[in-house]
């Protein structure tokens, strides 16, 4: 009986703790100026070979709302992602840049089709 109570308490307290974190806390878990995140192809797959503006936006929404469990009003995309091919003959060099109310994201897709995010909190681009 005590073990059941203890497990229930730990699950509830952990859930309460994660709900008290802001989205910025989740994006920058170690209180740094930037954070790295990844969404694997098993978690989210748009079926496209490379990123484009629409898929970068959808991946960013998936990361913040579904993966990090941020409230829908916490991350507001102020300027839609802008994607560019860095090397003309290399589709994996497609990189996107997105501005939000919390900071900015650099978004890329690796050869395994995982989406990689670099988030940076920068006072010039954020409201907080």
pLDDT tens digits, one per residue of 20-37? 889 989 999 877 778 899
Residue 46 lies in a domain: yes
Question: Which residue in 81, 124, 80, 126 sits closest to 103, CA to CA?
Answer: 126
Decide if pLDDT at 116 tops 90. Answer: yes
- Please give the average per-residue pLDDT across 54-79, as a whole number: 93
Residue 16 lies in a domain: no
Question: Which residue in 105, 115, 98 sits closest to 50, CA to CA?
Answer: 115
Residue 51 lies in a domain: yes
With pLDDT > 90 as the criterion, what percentage of the chain qualifies? 46
Residue 87 lies in a domain: yes
Please give the model's pTM, rounded to 2 decimal places.
0.77
Residue 3 lies in a domain: no
Please give the pLDDT value at position 8. Answer: 58
Rounded to whole angstroms, the Cα distance separating 123 from 108 reads: 23
Residue 125 lies in a domain: no
- Contacts (Cβ under 8 Å, ≥6 apart) of 112: 41
Decide if pLDDT at 84 tops 90. Answer: yes
Residue 59 lies in a domain: yes
Decide if pLDDT at 75 tops 80. Answer: yes
Residue 33 lies in a domain: yes
Rounded to whole angstroms, the Cα distance separating 17 from 9 reads: 12
| Count of structural domains, the chain | 1
The domain in which residue 105 lies consists of 21-120
């Amino acid at each position: 009986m005590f073990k059941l109570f203890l497990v229930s308490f730990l699950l509830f307290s952990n859930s309460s703790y994660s709900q008290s974190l802001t989205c910025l806390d989740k994006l920058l878990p170690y209180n740094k100026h930037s954070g790295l995140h990844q969404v694997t192809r098993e978690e989210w797959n748009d079926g496209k070979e490379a990123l484009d503006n629409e898929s970068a936006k959808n991946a960013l929404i998936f990361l913040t709302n579904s993966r990090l469990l941020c409230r829908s009003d916490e991350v507001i995309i102020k300027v839609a992602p802008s994607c560019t091919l860095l090397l003309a003959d290399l589709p994996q060099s497609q990189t996107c840049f997105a501005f939000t109310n919390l900071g900015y994201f650099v978004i890329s897709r690796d050869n395994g089709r995982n989406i990689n995010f670099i988030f940076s909190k920068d006072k010039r681009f954020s409201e907080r």
